[in-house]
Amino acid sequence: MAVCGLVLGWKLIILAFLLGCILGSIIHVLRMKLSGEDHVLAMGPYLALGVAICALYGNQMIDWYLHGYLGM
Residue type, 54: C
8-27 mean pLDDT: 94
Query: What was the pLDDT predicted at 41?
Result: 79
C-beta separation of 42 from 68 below 8 A: no
Is the pLDDT reported for residue 14 higher than 90? yes
Query: What was the pLDDT predicted at 39?
Result: 74
Query: What was the pLDDT predicted at 72?
Result: 66
- Cα separation, 11 vs 53, in Å, equals 13
Q: What is the pTM of this model?
A: 0.83
Q: How far is CA 30 from CA 12, 43, 61, in A?
A: 27, 15, 25
Tens digits of residue pLDDT in 22-65: 999 999 888 888 888 777 778 899 999 999 999 999 999 999 88
